[in-house]
Amino acid sequence: MTASPTLIALDAVSYAYPHGPLVLHDVHLQVRRGSAMALLGANGSGKSTLMKLMAGALQPRSGQVLIDAIPATYNRSGRTRARSLIQLVLQEPDDQIFGVSVRADVSYGPTNQGLSEKEIAARVDWAMERAEITDLAERVPQQLSYGQRKRVSLAGALAMRPQVLLLDEPTAGLDPAGAAQLVHTLALLRQEGTAIVLSTHDVDLAYAFADTAVVLHDGGVRTGACGEIMTDAALMERARLELPWAPLVSRALGRTVLRAVDVAAPPQTSE
Ligand SMILES: Nc1ncnc2c1ncn2[C@@H]1O[C@H](COP(=O)(O)OP(=O)(O)O)[C@@H](O)[C@H]1O
Ligand SMILES: [Mg+2]
């Protein structure tokens, strides 16, 4: 079996904001096609910064970011290339929504790519359907709820048909039903082959959704399978994170508790 191609690779990446201390130090990371990754860390640990580096939106102080095996460049053409492969959904939808209507907003990216009207319409319809905002197409974004605006910003990213979707705290501020709806959407996108990277404080969401966990602390990252990294109590404590409940319950029961993403069909009862 050959491994899926690497779409984003960070090689010894360090970053500091102008006149600031190092936020990230010597980070190595790979995002493969169709994978699901969760970035976990306390407030200020560098999750949003890491996402912007992965998106090719921030230039590392040292080290290199490879996007689909080509070193990222930070001029106009480099950023255009990055955006055609990778889309970052910011935590605050209002930082990303500019259109006078939902449809206009979602159309913005593909229109700037110079696609035909027909292709733009097809992408926008698909993106709105995936984000479950088709019925909001003609609405004014500013008049929508926070959760609806979050879905508009997701649709705007999807309309670019990215191979990697980065979502910064996608469930922050959503109610449980809204969060569940989003996870369902992300699972569907992943089935269709999109690699998903999300940052979150919600360790249970991360454990349920992702294969790979990236724990940020002290400017560094620890990366590995969720089942390995997120059950490392000492690491999670150092990173000021709770332990997810599912592996704790599994251990207590002496058997594996299925993760939401693994449950394509209803779980078989063991009785
Ligand atoms: N635009 C900025 N200018 C200067 N410092 C920043 C900026 N954005 C974030 N930082 C600092 O970088 C560190 C990491 O922030 P951030 O990536 O936002 O962390 P997180 O998303 O995990 O909360 C923090 O110390 C924060 O204060
Ligand atoms: Mg953040």
Percent residues over pLDDT 70 in the chain: 93
Report the separation in Å between the CA atom of 117 and the middle of ligand 2, taken as the mean of its atom positions: 36
Residues in the chain: 271
Mean pLDDT of 1-10: 85
Distance 48 CA to ligand 2 centre (A): 4
pLDDT at 72 over 90: yes
**Ligand 1 atom closest to Cα of 169?**
21
User: In whole angstroms, what separates CA 216 from the centre of its chain?
Assistant: 15
Residue 256 is predicted with a pLDDT of 67
Instruction: Write the DSSP symbol of residue 271.
Output: -
Q: What angle do CA 227, 232, 234 make, to 5 degrees?
A: 165
Pocket of ligand 1 (CB under 6 A): 17, 20, 23, 41, 43-49
Tokens (6 digits) for 94: 């209002």
Write the residue with the smallest CA distance to atom 17 of ligand 1: 46
Q: Within 13 Å, how many C-alpha atoms sit on residue 108's CB side?
A: 17
Note the pLDDT of residue 4.
82
Distance 63 CA to ligand 2 centre (A): 22
The residue nearest atom 3 of ligand 1, judged by CA position, is: 17
Residues 127-167: tens digit of each pLDDT: 999 999 999 999 999 999 999 999 999 999 999 999 999 99
Closest residue CA from atom 18 of ligand 1: 48
How does pLDDT run across 36-57, given as a tens digit for each residue?
Answer: 999 999 999 999 999 999 999 9
Higher per-residue pLDDT: 266 or 209: 209
DSSP state, residue 174: -
Digit-coded pLDDT (tens) for 114-130: 899 999 999 999 999 99
Q: How far is the CA of 116 from the centre of ligand 1 (A)?
A: 39
Distances, alpha carbon 223 to alpha carbons 31, 85, 151, 227, 230, in Å:
11, 23, 29, 11, 10
Q: Pocket of ligand 1, candidates 14, 22, 49: which has the most ligand atoms within 8 Å of its Cβ, to mutate? A: 49
Q: Give 242 or 254, the one with higher predicted confidence.
A: 242
Q: What is the mean pLDDT of residues 235-263?
A: 78
Q: Map out the domains of the chain with their CATH numbers.
A: 39-57+74-262 (3.40.50.300)
DSSP state of 44: T
Which ligand is closest in space to the CA of residue 50? 1
Nearest CA to ligand 1 atom 11: 44
Instruction: Report the separation in Å between the CA atom of 182 and the middle of ligand 2, taken as the mean of its atom positions.
Output: 19
The ligand minimizing its distance to the Cα of 19 is 1
pLDDT at 269: 46
Query: Which residue minimizes the CA distance to atom 9 of ligand 1?
Result: 49
Asked if pLDDT for residue 253 goes beyond 50, the answer is yes
Does position 198 have pLDDT exceeding 80, yes or no? yes
Averaged pLDDT for residues 18-33: 97
Would the CA dihedral through 227, 233, 239, 244 be positive or negative?
positive
Look at ligand 1, atom 7, and give the residue with the nearest C-alpha. 17
Give the mean pLDDT of 169-198. 94
- Of 234, 233, 231, 235, residue with least CA distance to 221: 235
Give the number of the atom of ligand 1 that is nearest the alpha carbon of residue 41: 22
